[in-house]
Structure 1
């Protein structure tokens, strides 16, 4: 009887595990996670952080609220995760053979990102919300500055090695010169870029950094 009982217990355990597996798999499904992350961007662009809700995100993603809460415990943590993912993507690290070429490529990538309708709506809203949320402020600093600092430092280091600029150029200043004018024109003023603007800006940035 003990043998039969053991077999019976093992069978019940296997059956229970089998019954639980689909539910666990559904919680961890990457397509649902991706849909939720995409819905966060859409919801932020549509209603802003203050009015954004887990219910709205779930509805837009086509999932239940439980699917969202099993991954993130609040909308703040969800946004922090999405912002961190953007930070991880970062800017490319171009190596065109010249400082001006590297600057021009980075300006093109940044301009394309800032031209996106969602970015022009989401970034100012999140920056305003960051004034009230230290956690969000820290995540945005990482996404919008710290993660790009290494790219700027590498670009400056290569230019120094090529003898294009003197040693000691501040990578932080390079990053400010790269992104500041574009953010001002595309996000703050919301004006389009005239023809040749990126070429002129690339020349101006390289010149400001001491490029020959």
Structure 2
């Protein structure tokens, strides 16, 4: 998974060691992948990290808070879509970055579980949308708006449908079909999305 999050020091609280935060973060994602969100316990995360449970509560107030904070760190670490100067090039770079992220073994185990849990847990579901979905869609929106500004896409583009089109096929291919995103597949998908968006 992505790099070590920087956990701010609570006002007047103890100094939080980055090495402990890193160990807890790694243990959290491993435990989440192994058990799923519903069965995840902070005690198990602490044990896997070789830390005390108090070390977790000095950083996060609850399981949900921890989950959202660490997922937000991953999203924040994701770079802006590359501006290649053409829609076709931007789509290819976007899909390559998305395939690398979604293709990570832990992500493939964690993401479907969190989506399912978000459907059962309204509060978690809404928080996941604002923490994970919305920032990624905002970045993809900027990519599409650049193409509109260049005249490659119509000014009246349905952004909602376009964003769904960008995310859906590759997620289905990797997380549901469980097929590899080979360079040849990504090339074909890029060409199809390019044609569909311009239609």
Normalised by the shorter chain, which TM-score bucket? 0.7 to 0.9
Is residue 14 of structure 2 the alignment partner of residue 24 of structure 1? yes
- Cα drift, residue 66 of structure 1: 1.0
In structure 2, the partner of 1:111 is: 99
Query: 2:31–2:40: 8 Å Cα contact kept in structure 1?
Result: yes
Cα distance in structure 1, aligned partners of 2:30 and 2:194: 36
| SS of equivalent to 1:76 | helix
Cα distance in structure 2, aligned partners of 1:143 and 1:176: 17
Please, which runs of 5 or more residues in structure 2 have no aligned partner? Answer: 1-12
- Cα drift, residue 83 of structure 1: 2.0
For this pair of structures, how many residues does the alignment match? 187
Cα distance in structure 1, aligned partners of 2:114 and 2:102: 14
In structure 1, the partner of 2:30 is: 42
Cα distance in structure 2, aligned partners of 1:144 and 1:205: 23
In structure 1, the partner of 2:142 is: 154
- Deviations 1:4-28, CA, capped at 9 Å, x for gaps: xxxxxxxxxxxxxxxxxxx922xx2
Query: 1:91–1:106: 8 Å Cα contact kept in structure 2?
Result: no
Correspondence for 1:167 among 137, 140, 155:
155
Moved more, 155-164 or 82-91: 82-91
Structure 1 residues 121 and 210: CA distance shift in structure 2, 3 A: same
- Cα drift, residue 129 of structure 1: 1.3
Moved more, 105-114 or 152-161: 152-161
Structure 1 residues 138 and 89: CA distance shift in structure 2, 3 A: farther
In structure 2, the partner of 1:101 is: 89
Structure 1 residues 69 and 194: CA distance shift in structure 2, 3 A: closer
TM-score normalised according to structure 1 size: 0.81
In structure 2, the partner of 1:82 is: 70
TM-score normalised according to structure 2 size: 0.86
Cα distance in structure 1, aligned partners of 2:37 and 2:133: 21
Cα distance in structure 1, aligned partners of 2:137 and 2:37: 27
In structure 1, the partner of 2:60 is: 72
| Greater radius of gyration (CA) | 1
In structure 1, the partner of 2:112 is: 124
Relative to total residues, which structure has the larger helix share, 1 or 2? Answer: 1
- Deviations 1:21-59, CA, capped at 9 Å, x for gaps: xx922xx22221222122111111111112211111111
Cα distance in structure 1, aligned partners of 2:134 and 2:102: 18
Cα distance in structure 2, aligned partners of 1:154 and 1:69: 37
| SS of equivalent to 1:49 | coil
Query: 1:177–1:205: 8 Å Cα contact kept in structure 2?
Result: yes
Moved more, 183-192 or 139-148: 139-148
